[in-house]
Amino acid sequence: MLKLKVKGMTCGHCAQTVTKAVEALPTVQRAVVDLSAGEVAVEGAAGEAAVRQAIEDAGYEVLGQAA
């Protein structure tokens, strides 16, 4: 599972936007956003670069991998 820190997610709409953007990738099975931690967990075979690009295209900044 890939976990990324994402800057700028502040509300349910943000979480929904990031979730939809990541889940639109063909090899992603599920994306779960944790607003309080500012993280998104991605299940599936998508590469980190593709996930980062989807999140950035949705208007958010990826800070790096979460612990």
11 DSSP assignment: S
Domains of the chain and CATH, by start? 2-65 (3.30.70.100)
CB proximity list for 29: less than 8 A, separation 6 or greater? 43, 44
State pLDDT tens for residues 8-57: 999 999 999 999 999 999 999 999 999 999 999 999 999 999 999 999 99
Its pTM stands at 0.94
